[in-house]
Amino acid sequence: MIASDESLEPVEAGSQGRVLKTGEVHLLSEQAREFIALEERYGAHNYAPLDLVVERAEGVWLWDVSGKRYLDCVSAYSALNQGHCHPRIYAALVDQARRLTLTSRAMRNDRMPGFLEKLTRLCGYEKALLMNTGVEAVETAIKLARRWGYVRKGIAPDDATIVVFSNNFHGRTLAAVSASTTEEYRAGFGPFLPGFVVVPFGDADALERALTPQTAAVLIEPIQGEGGVIVPPAGYLKRVWALCREHEILLLADEVQTGFGRTGDLFACDYDGVKPDVLIVGKALGGGFYPVSAALASDELMNLFQPGDHGSTFGGNPLGCAVADAALDVIVSENLAARSRYAGAAIMQGLRALASPLIAEIRGRGLLLGVQLTVPASRLAEALLERGIAAKETREYVLRIAPPLVIDDEAIAYLLDGFAGAVGSLHARP
């Protein structure tokens, strides 16, 4: 339902704004409709976003152009673990922007060395290669694994393979979609990059059968977020890790969405006590202010890259390093992994207590939760939006709940109350 709402008073910066009342229909103002029309007219249609035009945000809350407030349960796909516009990260951004923003890697800058030390020490690795987006870090790991396969393992030129898993999501570059099994990501984009071998996610025996002397690496998401928040069986990641060591194969862990506290540990691999050979991080590393990503590995591995082998004009720029340095400080000082573990348990318990026949399963860890439904998830997303909660489907029948890790008890109660109302409204509809 779309209607004009001109009765709202202007919202002052820092105020709570107008909160949707339970059962109130999400209405689009004339201003919001104009913004949407402009975007549809001049922008590529490669996304299907919620019809929510956000003007400002703070912590876990969003305000649209009419001043209505919404709880953010998307978190820019885990890029906002620290919450929107965190003042500590904002201060670092502004301070650095006054002094130096970009040099390219043609010369050195004073922000990257200290940030590299902080990042590698926190993550437990010896070296990091900085990029911008998560998929760039994935590409870095793929190139590094192939180089290692040829130089160290002795695989014949152009014969190296990398094992990936069904239902994976590593981004949308050509290499990433070449590794994908999701047809909508692949349709019309071939020919694809060779060298990827797909096995079922969660089946360790199938993985073992797929390994050959030409296998250079296994690329895995410890929890498949975009694939529907799929948590592997108990002991599976340890078995994958053991197989990699047994067969002299690198383990590449894509923690772009699961990293930096999202699943209740600093990294999702920590839950199983697994240390991958290459750790791939991004999203929350930029604190919601700037795209920063990295691939982390040992000296032995990372030294396989020499000048000219790989790079990025913006990767490791001083502005990004300053932002990411502060983003790491917030994750550690505010103990966001523990907060995620606590809040996730409270939300999961509250959702399970609804005992609705529309909910088939609730799964996940920390604040990466997937609600498996018996009705299309887009219907529940619409009902939640009417109640001031912004959430998005990740598969046709799976709704993802992933608020910023700074969510407090009051916001958790708001989420559970709104969820109960939304589910109840779907029961009442024919």
Instruction: Provide the annotated active-site residues.
Output: 169, 254, 283
Residue type, 346: A
Q: How far apart are CA 8 and CA 321, in angstroms?
A: 40
Count CB atoms within 10 A of the CB of residue 421.
17
Q: How far apart are CA 51 and CA 392, in angstroms?
A: 11
How far is the first Cα of the chain from the last one, in angstroms, to the nearest whole number? Answer: 17
The tokens describing 27, both together, are 């209405």
Q: Which residue has the tokens 């006054």?
A: 98
DSSP 333-350: HTTHHHHHHHHHHHHHHH
Strand pairing report for 368-373 and 359-365: antiparallel
**Long-range pairs for 407-412: beta carbons < 8 A, 24 or more residues apart:** 407/60, 407/339, 407/343, 407/367, 408/60, 409/346, 411/60, 411/61, 411/71, 412/343, 412/346, 412/347, 412/350
φ, ψ dihedrals at 222, nearest 5°: -60, -30
Count CB atoms within 10 A of the CB of residue 115.
24
